[in-house]
Amino acid sequence: MTPLRQRMLEDMGIRNLAENTQSAYLLQITAYAKYFKRPPEELGPEEVRAYQVYLTQSRNLSPSSLSVATGALRFLYKVNLKREWAFEQIPMPKRPFTLPVILSPEEVMHFLNSIDNVKHRAILITAYAAGLRISEATHLKLTDIDSQRMMLRVDQGKGRKDRYVMLSPRLLEELRAYWKAVRPTLWLFPGDLPGQPITRDAVGQACRKAHRASGIQKPITPHSLRHAFATHLLESGADVRKIQLLLGHRSLATTSRYLKVATSTVCATTSPFDLLPQIEPALPAPPPPAHF
């Protein structure tokens, strides 16, 4: 391990960055050094710019993927190498604003009924019923189920924050039936490796299989169930602030985007055209002149 890599690991650890973020940053800096075949200490603003052009034009990376690479480069040069030019000359790409595709309650039910594996069905039901990120669902433990208070404890969710989410009576019934069938001990959804939870990739594969079986044309990922949870809550009259707390969003603005896809608040709103007095029908067009 090079001294720079060791220092980067230490600096990320001091700042308590998530493990996924640490792994992504290390991969990005390794790729950056391999591209120029030189250590990052010897590279400067021009090389950074050339690398970003390469990622954008040759690799054709999406703004989201480019943001990860940019974040890694900024961390390297500002935090590790303490270069004053880091933020000014490493621009962060602007991400386009997109709205999620939302499954209807009927589509969610059909999708969940298309899952043929007991464990996969239970974890995807949990993701929808509690609005969990898939990484949060995979790391649930048996001790996180509080049936007395009807809550699920999310231990160190995104941003290294704990929170409690709803445990619906119907979800509790599903989890009890699942426990009787599988008998997990530590992790609620154990993986193939002893002592380890199920992986995100395994859940993603199960989701793709169920998607094909369901025949639903809309795109479906595990995160689609979280989007559906928030939108369906909003459409049923839940307060946006409560939804924010359940989802674990730091900003209310993040939660408010579901207002744009909730049909009961947007599409069902009366158009001002419907409030106008009756408009007289248009007169028929006169016949064209004879010489036409």
- Ordered by start, the domain boundaries in the chain are 3-80, 105-260
Highest mean pLDDT pick, 117-121, 150-154, 273-277, 287-291? 117-121
* CATH number of the 105-260 domain: 1.10.443.10
Q: What is the DSSP letter of 105?
A: H
- Higher-confidence residue of 261 and 196: namely 196
CATH superfamily of 3-80: Tyrosine recombinase, N-terminal domain (1.10.150.130)
pLDDT (tens digit, 9 = 90+) per residue, 139-179?
999 999 999 999 999 886 565 678 888 899 999 999 999 99
Cα(201)–Cα(134) distance, integer angstroms: 10
Percent pLDDT > 90 in the chain is 57
Q: What is the mean pLDDT of the chain?
A: 86
CA distance 228 to 216: 15
- The pLDDT score that the predictor gives to residue 69 is 93
- pTM for the model stands at 0.69
Residues 6+ apart with CB under 8 A from 33: 39, 40
Q: What is the pLDDT of residues 125-145, one digit of tens each?
A: 999 999 999 999 999 999 999
What pLDDT is stored for residue 156 in this prediction?
67
Q: Which two tokens stand for residue 182?
A: 């599988």
Residue 220 pLDDT greater than 70, yes or no: yes
Summarised one tens digit per residue, pLDDT across range 227-278 is 998 888 888 877 778 888 888 877 766 666 666 666 655 555 566 766 677 7
What is the distance between the alpha carbons of residues 290 and 53, in angstroms, rounded to a whole number? Answer: 65
Please identify every residue annotated as catalytic: 133, 158, 223, 226, 249, 258
State residue 148's pLDDT score. 92
How far does the chain reach from its first CA to its final CA, in angstroms? Answer: 87
Query: Contact, 238 vs 166, CB < 8 A?
Result: no
